[in-house]
Structure 1
């Protein structure tokens, strides 16, 4: 099979040795690694101090975007324009994170829909994909400076529990950063590879990977046999990590100094300063018995014993997750061959001791826990580059496959480089009341708009029972067999109406054409993202306009004239914004309308409940 090294600066295909890098896109820190003289090595920055790039993005008053250590310094002085822990938001809607928004120093927008979250910085709205792309660009620049060559291909790791939308969001972030993401690899798989587990296909192992990072915890039970990594079970908590250890220390200092926690949370600069001081204390207590510091005359003192007592409930939660994972995997403690420790927070002595006691064996932590996932990703990348001849690679899809959605967007169902044979399903619904037919158009390619991709075929799912928009549940399945034949099946789950089509995705496309399609997608990623963001904002806004009109029609009797007039005026302002081409203006108009109508909607709900309960006894 021919291979192409893509120079994204010139757009040329170059003939040089294949280089694919491994990237750990982390909640707190991110790293990039590659194989140097046969060994995986994480890349340090220009100063040579650390391999870690803080996953922090700062927007300066001049509009400059800064990533890493320089951005982290702005967490105290400019928290509203400094974004951290963006990985926690990948593939999430506002409903998924609204209970913990107070922990973020920046503004997450409540758009009252199931759409993916947006982060507001000044008058602009960013998606987690765009922010993650900035971190990936910084990593790409770091390794290009190290090697003095263009790097265009990468393997990126994600938690084993990431769903399809979170994995696709990670791929999109890579593309936006100018990277061809050849494979999304589970973090526990990468950690195993870093320890050499799974490279010898004659061996079989059952291992536990305990991963406690800055913002997330997960435990994965893996079975490795014949070079195949099978995740038997995964468990964890996407809002539990070293950040929570820091928060426990801050809460302790707040109580000890008799401070008002509400006032501290309201003072973003002070709360960030205390958070950073707590992080220093946590690190110091890994090797010392006591820590002493000060923030704005606030005494910051804590002992190892006090710290252990504070975090014991948090560590116990991770142990409960471990026990649940073992139960789900249907394996006994005696079946676990090794316990691998991943993430900087596993340096905390209480964590290591508790995990060792739970599994009844010494934990594996000889490889730097901050770097182990990135190093494993580099090994996986080296395998993909064909440099480890004794390891078998399964066949993969050469180009992404998906369907057309509202506005001419391409929704990828089967991403490029997915292993085959495979079966993937996703659920959709109707966008018009009473819709009886649904056209399913199947496309192949890497661009965000279907007009830039290759149409493979289409069919119509007929006979959907007439229902309000959003009620029908249409499941679309892509079944790709080992010969590359794709069967697309659509079924309306409430009525069991179904239809299918069969196509051959790669027919008529040469290796060179595929490479050029890929170059085209990466070079146009920024423009594609801009167009996609505008179309998605318009689609979302149109739904909100319909909801607002329906709300006014149904609740005239409980709204006064001013409320009705203001809602109509804001709805018209949103219509006007939709007619334009500024997605930030659309998002601004949506936010304004939602903010105004939210209390009205709550009042309407209370009124409806009172009406429903009239004459009834509880």
Structure 2
């Protein structure tokens, strides 16, 4: 068995091919795992969500975004020791290895790991070393854009195409121009920035919040390491919310104190404010885009498609700036967080010689929006179409926008919901309409504003809510959007997209109660530490850990007792070395 891993700056994912289909391997309810490592106050190693959670109160004991330092001659401190970036990445990979082994109930040693196309040779070698330190045989290091192309099924298309893969993740960015001809994927050119991603967007917003807080209270929260960590977390949450909402309220109680009195952060941030903070960073990605095209000897008109990869491509400004710059609508049929891991699994299956089938993913076949009126050259132009959910958006999805009344004394707005692509609203299909009245301006003398939210669920039902920002009044409606089945051509176009993923049942760490299970949980923690510290062959210990985890997950008490005894013997042997 060979598995695929997307070793990301902020999140990592693991995938495998099962019954001919690539699937993401979830752990409990986590589809992707935070790429964070930390030590608790008791000195216990934590990886993933526990480490991410402790960052806000113990940032000095937590390491984030280590991928940005891969290949550099540097060391990072964790507790009383220092480690190379490859060491820290190995801890992340070991946790992923433990999860996949618990999932399949057997040792997993062979892996394909992805890296940014713009990674240096030193960074690639450090990634290989991290895999080897984690106990893997690294079969191949492949570029993330190539993995994304595999996930989209581009290797199965016979016709010649030129595709740009735009990959904006948590900490790195690159764009690759890929030529597809007779099933062969060839990277024509790549460009990027290994120090640009969602972390930088968080930083900009956190700095903005800190400056505002200092202006209000005379205290700079950046001077307190824990307050700054909380601001970064709040900025990240706000950034995510602003991808689907026009406003977000940022609240952090007791952020700092002054003369013994607590000071709180409570501020509304608009999407427009956030976009103003990051527009120059997004503009930098477009310069890389043009550089890659130039290196490939192409102009943008030669491109057939643009594929979006990486969680930061969910930011509406990114989509809009790329679409405006190229005249091509970027494609996001596959979850941007998962495409690379799925592609890595496909590459792993190709190496292992496994047969592959088609994947079908459900998307919105048409754009969904509402009728508005726009002011153009001093004249009010009615019957304009404002798209809220663009076509080919993966469902389920939630998007919202804010709209203004025309005059300050306007007390009602008619919400007309359409499906289609025509810029004239009435030329699209009317799905439903309703009236929100008794509007109240937020500011005297200004027109009232209404936030309109579209929720499109997995069953093709569109739920629309309109909220008057002045009074808080809310109106809702549910409509059934026309839902067309994908044609065979669409299936070929979206080959290897994810249709469904069966999540694992409950977390084994919380399975059952009683002294036997509690003993087993403590023993597992001890075994994992021994696995990390061991310099000898780890296969037997990894297999014993995975077997005990399976027994715990299934609640098999006889198997738990038997495997506890076996694991104790292995740990004693290792600790005696």
Rounded Cα–Cα distance in structure 2 between residues aligned with 1:189 and 1:86:
23
User: Is the Cα–Cα contact under 8 Å of residues 210 and 222 in structure 2 kept in the other structure?
Assistant: no
* Greater relative contact order, per chain length (Cα 8 Å cut-off, separation 6+): 2
1:301 aligns with 2:268: yes
Other-structure match for 2:190: 234
Q: Measure the CA separation in 2 of the matches of 1:214 and 1:379.
A: 23
Which residue is 2:232 aligned to?
Answer: 275
Shift of 1:526: 5.9
- Residue in structure 1 matching 2:66, options 64, 86, 109: 86
Superposed counterparts of 1:365-444, under 5 Å: 365-388=332-355
Deviation track 1:79-101 (CA, whole Å, cap 9, x = no partner) reads 11100110001101xxxxxxxxx
1:334 aligns with 2:316: no
**By how many angstroms is 1:528 displaced?**
8.8
* Alpha-carbon distance, 1:231 to partner: 2.1
Residue in 2 that maps onto 1:323: 290
| Local SS of the residue matching 1:160 | coil
CA contact (8 A) 1:205 1:224 kept: yes
2:199 pairs with 1:243: yes
Q: Are 1:165 and 2:132 counterparts?
A: no
Q: Would you say 1:527 and 2:494 are equivalent positions? A: no
1:356 aligns with 2:364: no
Q: What's the offset of the Cα at 1:268?
A: 1.1
1-structure distance, mates of 2:341, 2:219? 39
Counterpart in the other structure of 1:3: none
Partner of 1:120: 77
Distance 1:261 1:207, change over 3 A: farther
Q: TM-score, normalised by structure 1?
A: 0.55
Equivalent residues of 1:253, 1:299 under 8 A apart: no
The match for 2:559 is none
Deviations 1:299-351 (A, max 9, x none): 23201111122211111111111111111111111211111101111000111
Matched, 1:57 2:24: no
Match of 2:89 among 129, 132, 143: 132
Structure 1 residue aligned with 2:243, among 282, 286, 309? 286
Deviations 1:404-432 (A, max 9, x none): xxxxxxxxxxxxxxxxxxxxxxxxxxxxx
Q: Is the 8 A contact 1:87 1:128 kept in 2?
A: yes
- Once residues 209 and 261 of structure 1 are traced to their aligned partners in structure 2, the CA distance between those partners, rounded to angstroms, is 45
CA contact (8 A) 2:94 2:135 kept: yes
How far 1:389 moved relative to its partner? 8.6
Quick check: 1:252 aligned with 2:260?
A: no
CA shift, 1:261, in A, is: 10
From the superposition, tell whether residues 89 and 347 of structure 1 become closer, same or farther in structure 2 (CA, over 3 Å).
same
In structure 2, the gaps of 5 or more residues are 256-263, 358-530, 538-577
Cα distance, 1:203 vs structure 2: 3.1
Cα gap change, 1:329 to 1:262, in 2 (>3 Å): farther
Give the TM-score of the pair, scaled to structure 2: 0.59
Q: Aligned residue pairs: how many? A: 353
Deviation sequence 1:537-580 (CA, Å, 0-9, x none): xxxxxxxxxxxxxxxxxxxxxxxxxxxxxxxxxxxxxxxxxxxx
Give 1:255 shift: 2.5
Q: In the alignment, is the contact (CA less than 8 A) between 2:214 and 2:220 conserved in 1?
A: no
Q: Cα distance 1:389–1:319, how it changes in 2: closer, same or farther (>3 A)?
A: closer
Contact 2:89 2:130 in 1 (8 A): yes
CA offsets per residue over residues 223-250 of structure 1, 9 Å max, x none?
2334433222211111111111111211
Aligned partner of 1:36 in structure 2 is 18
What is the distance in 1 between the residues matched to 2:44 and 2:25? 25
Q: Distance in 2 between matches of 1:269 and 1:194?
A: 40
Q: Matched residues in 2 for 1:27 and 1:247: separation?
A: 15
Does the CA-based 8 Å contact 1:175-1:525 persist in structure 2? Answer: no
Counterpart Cα distance in 2 of 1:73 and 1:342: 26
Summarize the alignment of residues 183-262 of structure 1 with structure 2, pairs less than 5 Å apart: 183-200=140-157, 202-259=158-215
What are the superposed Cα offsets for residues 383-403 of structure 1, whole Å, 9 maximum, x if unpaired? 01101499xxxxxxxxxxxxx
**What SS class does the counterpart of residue 192 from structure 1 fall into?**
helix
Task: Name the SS for the 1:369 alignment partner.
Answer: coil
The residue matched to 1:284 in structure 2 has which SS? helix
Q: 1:172 to 1:312 in 2, by over 3 A?
A: same
What displacement does 1:193 show? Answer: 0.4
Q: Secondary structure at the match of 1:257?
A: helix
**Is contact 1:91–1:165 with CA below 8 Å preserved after alignment?**
yes
Q: Counterpart of 1:258 in 2: which secondary structure?
A: helix
The alpha-carbon distance between structure 1 residues 150 and 255, as it changes in their structure 2 partners (threshold 3 A), is same
Matches within 5 A, 1:492-531: 527=535
Question: Which residue, out of 146, 155, 163, partners 2:112?
Answer: 155
Tell me what 1:181 maps to.
138
SS in 2 for 1:131: helix
